[in-house]
Amino acid sequence: MGLLDKAQKLKQESGISSTKNSPKAPSPGLRTLRYTTKLDDIYSYVEQQGSVSLNVLAAKFSIVQDEMENWLKTLESEGLLELCYPIAGKISARKIGFISSIATSTSQTSTSHNQGKKLINLLLFAVLVFASVMLLYMLYKNYAV
Tens-digit pLDDT profile for the chain (145 aa)?
576 677 777 777 766 554 444 455 554 555 565 778 888 899 989 999 988 999 999 999 999 999 999 999 999 888 889 898 888 888 888 888 776 555 555 555 556 667 777 778 888 899 999 999 999 999 888 887 6
At residue 110, the pLDDT reads 59
At residue 122, the pLDDT reads 85
At residue 18, the pLDDT reads 47
At residue 33, the pLDDT reads 58
For the chain, the residue count is 145
Q: Please, are residues 90 and 53 in contact by the beta-carbon 8 Å criterion?
A: yes
At residue 19, the pLDDT reads 47
Q: Please, are residues 68 and 58 in contact by the beta-carbon 8 Å criterion?
A: yes
Q: What is the largest CA-CA distance in the chain?
A: 107
Sheet holding 81-84, edge to edge: 51-53, 92-95, 81-84
Query: Any residues with CB less than 8 A from the CB of 50 and at least 6 apart, and which?
Result: 94, 95, 98, 101
**What distance in Å separates the CA atoms of residue 140 and residue 27, rounded to the nearest whole number?**
97
Domains and CATH numbers, the chain: 3-96 (1.10.10.10)
Please report which helix (H) or strand (E) contains residue 3, including its range.
helix 3-14
At residue 99, the pLDDT reads 65
